[in-house]
Chains A and B, each alone.
Chain A
Amino acid sequence: MLTTTPTPARQASRALARMIAVRVVGVVFILLVISLLTFGLMYLAPGDLVKNLLGNRPTSPEAVAAIREQYRLDDPFFVQYFTWLGNALQGDFGTSVRMQQPVTTVIGARVGLTVALCLLSFLIAAIVAIPLGIASAARAGSTIDRVSSSVTLIGLSAPTFALALLLLYLFAFFLPIFPIYGGGSGPLDTLYHLVLPAIILAAGLGAILMRMTRAAMIRELGSDAVSFARARGIAERDVRWIALRAAAIPIVTGAGLVLTFLVGGTIIVETIFALPGLGSLLQDSVLFKDIPVVQALTLVVAAVIAVIAIVVDLSYLALDPRVRTREFAR
């Protein structure tokens, strides 16, 4: 206890580094397995490997030789895999079979729209769902609670594509408030084109977030700490803040989990609204069997999800002093 070894701050940062390292190693392992499976996709896909990679290009001996050279098809499987992985890590995923452009260029041209769509829907969902979840928990069983839990039931169960088409019919066709399809031109017009798709995505996201917030807040509002705070005569507003702080971890976890929903959702919504984003790119590439693009998108999505999972884990440290002490005491 009294020994004058490293300062607590230094000890804490070392513990933090160790914790991050452990998580990163786990994630790298999973990403490696996924990259192996993704690479295997090329081999497992029906049809001739070289023909698949050539696509519509003429099968001249030179083109075939170039492909064999680029993918090192004459080398053993693992040499091919590591060549491919090495290139991928440097941002070179090969050439899109469908568009005859580097995969990185194709993805770069479309990533902005998808990021904007995801951020917008996430923002809408968080702004509506978290306060609603808190209000429902504070007055569990009241009208607001019952109405909002019925609405979340729709958001939770309705398939994105059915909801999207119903809202598209209502608000773009029947009452022409929003554009039916396309990404628009110019930042403001694009934003306008993204509103309806973002609301549709936010319905699913918000439903999950709202349920998690409500459950966490109900649990915290029933805790001893809250009863004690009330007994001390602290105003109900402040009591709710105390409960919210304690409920933050499940809420943030929920926010991280909804990401997987967002991936499936953007594919559907971008396809329906003909938005030129990554989701529609994946859908088109899968139908065209444009394997290099599919490989790149799969790996990118896996990496993004992994990074966000680590960020969520780290946020626990910032949010909850109990986790902080436990992690650093190890």
Chain B
Amino acid sequence: MSGQPGAPPGSLPGPPQGSPHSGPSATVGPRTTQLRLLPRGPKPAWSVVASFVLLGLVALAAIFGSVVFADATKQSILDSLLPPFTAGHLLGTDELGRDVFALLVAGTASAVVGPLVIALGSMTIGIVLGTLAGYHRGWLDMIISRFSDVLLALPVMLLAIVVAGIFDAGYWMTVALLVLLFSPSDIRIVRAGVLEQAPRPYVEAAQMLSLSRWRIMFVHVVPNVWPLIVTNVLLNTSFALVTLSSLSFLGLGVAPGTADWGRQIADGRGLMADNPAALIAPAVLIVLVSMAINVVGDWFGERLERKGIR
């Protein structure tokens, strides 16, 4: 693991795990413990730092937003359509007199929690089925692969609009639907990673020790596909944010009157002349958050690649 060309020479106070062997394939199962949450490397670019700051603020808003602005969805017709920078209303109000900034903060949870659940949930399915398909092969692989082929034959957006629309799905139903629709690509990715790991000597060694199939798959093989998994969860989070907010923009998945970014943008469409902030603020925010997740995802992927654990 040492001697990576890109690793800075000064930042090595000794190998973290002190394992003397060279290369991951020399012993049974290089474990997850070799993987730090934030691997060392050169200083991140300003865009990465900015993305982390933004995502930190978003996380705070998602946790405390609905508590701080508990009455964000309260309507007061007397205060409707105030322009930005009015006293007490930083971004003005919409046509129902709701404060745009308060709505934005209160809607963070709805915009962010769903996508996280979608990315993690679909990856859980992806890890279980992808590993089974890639390691077990045979009929199981055949069934799992055909399942993902069928779902991948149609665009996620189309399926989501049709199913969520016809069945009047609520927020969590829509999230569950997207977990299912996101899983085929995760299954494929994990399967490909496992297929690549399966013939390696450490797997053979584990088989020789007659470890159980489940233990080999999920304790020894999966940790070696981990970088692939982490990067994909991040990329999927951004994709899920886009999909879920597009659905709520179209009026699917989120009830009218709820604080939600997609909903807010839909409501702000008619206010271009009166209070453009009601449209621009949530639209810009959603673009920035999605970009930030992608930046962090790319940075993560590059670092893991540089560490040589692929």
Q: Which residues of A contact B (CB under 8 A)?
A: 30-31, 33-34, 41, 44-46, 153-154, 156-163, 165-166, 169, 173, 260-261, 263-264, 267-268, 271-272, 282-283, 286-287, 289, 291, 294, 298, 301-302, 305-306
* Prevailing SS type, chain B contact patch: helix
* Prevailing SS type, chain A contact patch: helix
Residues of B within 8 A of A283 (CB): 161, 250
Shortest beta-carbon distance, B209 to chain A, in Å? 39
Interface residues of B in 146-164 (CB under 8 A from A): 149-150, 153-158, 161-162
* Whole-angstrom CA separation of A34 from B153 in the bound complex: 9
Contact B272 A169 (CB under 8 A): yes
Q: Which of A162, A301, A302 contacts B283 (CB 8 A)?
A: A162
Most interface-central of A165, A271, A272, A291 (chain B CB within 10 A): A165
Q: Which residues of B contact A (CB under 8 A)?
A: 149-150, 153-158, 161-162, 165-168, 238, 241-243, 245-246, 249-252, 262, 265, 268-269, 272-273, 276, 279-280, 282-284, 286-287, 290-291, 293-295
Q: Which of B155, B251, B272 contacts A260 (CB 8 A)?
A: B155
Contact B246 A264 (CB under 8 A): yes
* Whole-angstrom CA separation of A165 from B268 in the bound complex: 10
Residues of A within 8 A of B167 (CB): 44-46
Which partner residue on chain B sits nearest A298 by CB separation? B162
Residues of A within 8 A of B293 (CB): 157
Contact A159 B154 (CB under 8 A): no
Contact A46 B168 (CB under 8 A): yes
Which partner residue on chain A sits nearest B297 by CB separation? A157
Q: Which of A154, A162, A286, A302 contacts B265 (CB 8 A)?
A: A162
Residues of A within 8 A of B161 (CB): 267, 282-283, 286
Contact B290 A264 (CB under 8 A): no
Contact B162 A165 (CB under 8 A): no
Contact B265 A165 (CB under 8 A): yes
Contact B166 A294 (CB under 8 A): yes
Contact B291 A161 (CB under 8 A): no
* Whole-angstrom CA separation of A179 from B207 in the bound complex: 67
| Given A30-B149, A286-B166, residue A301 in contact with residue B154 (CB < 8 A) | yes
Contact A158 B246 (CB under 8 A): no
Which partner residue on chain B sits nearest A285 by CB separation? B165
| Given A46-B167, A159-B242, residue A30 in contact with residue B150 (CB < 8 A) | yes
Residues of B within 8 A of A287 (CB): 165, 251
| Given A46-B168, A263-B155, A267-B157, residue A159 in contact with residue B287 (CB < 8 A) | yes
Residues of B within 8 A of A34 (CB): 150, 153-154
Shortest beta-carbon distance, A27 to chain B, in Å? 8
Q: Which of A159, A260, A301 contacts B246 (CB 8 A)?
A: A159
Q: Which of B149, B245, B250, B295 contacts A271 (CB 8 A)?
A: B250
Contact B269 A286 (CB under 8 A): no
Residues of A within 8 A of B262 (CB): 161
Contact A41 B279 (CB under 8 A): no
